[in-house]
Structure 1
């Protein structure tokens, strides 16, 4: 009985997370940069740790560390909901979670597919 209940709860959690993530638009690097350039309200949000950010980041990106939830939540309170946030991390995992949180808080958000690693892999520009 406990196994069945656990399985049902796990499945519900999975589908709830999948539904919230499906609401976040995810773009390949070229489409991501084109959308940023065309969007006058665009803010690029790097949710990696400060050390990762210092090693290289997208131009005009703001660093808001997802792994430090105190910093992230405090930073979130300072963001303007009238802007669109273009979010990325190293590989896409943290940005997916951060994008879901931003979306749940009422922000317009777009996630970079594959994160910084994919961005660099396809030859997109970075700031070091």
Structure 2
């Protein structure tokens, strides 16, 4: 269950086209499979790397994803408390994959999967 004060959206309700997407999973999860346009910053590194989020601009919220939605909920709350507009992606990369959204692996010779 997500906290009421954390903006949350379903994968099916994400905008069409490219949008700011932050993946806060661990390195091994990222290497196994991730959204092609996502930016990877593991949750534990987020406080030290927030300046990197400036590349997203400020015209859209930053959608935050993990495997199923727990870590991304924490990251979304943290980002919103620090002046960003962020929205948690409910169901995470598991839902992303189920919804048929594209997933790529870091190794092009490996079938992408969601860990």
Same fold (TM over 0.5): yes
Change (3 A) 1:98 1:57: same
RMSD value, Cα: 2.0
Q: Which residue number corresponds to residue 89 of structure 1?
A: 66
Change (3 A) 1:103 1:77: same
1:27 match: secondary structure: strand
Q: CA deviation at 1:36?
A: 5.5
Distance 2:46 2:62 in 1: 14
Distance 1:79 1:88 in 2: 14
The one of 43, 47, 50 aligned to 2:24:
47
Aligned residues: 101
Q: Which residue number corresponds to residue 23 of structure 1?
A: 5
2:95 match: secondary structure: helix
TM-score by length of 1: 0.69
Report which of the two structures shows the higher radius of gyration computed on alpha carbons: 1
What whole-Å deviation, never above 9, does each CA across 1:26-53 have from its counterpart, x for those lacking one? 1111211xx252x7xx321000011100
Q: CA deviation at 1:112?
A: 0.8
TM-score by length of 2: 0.76
Q: Please, which runs of 5 or more residues in structure 2 have no aligned partner?
A: 106-115
Q: CA deviation at 1:111?
A: 1.3
Structure with more of its chain in helix, by fraction: 1
Q: Which residue number corresponds to residue 77 of structure 1?
A: 51
Q: Please, which runs of 5 or more residues in structure 1 have no aligned partner?
A: 1-17
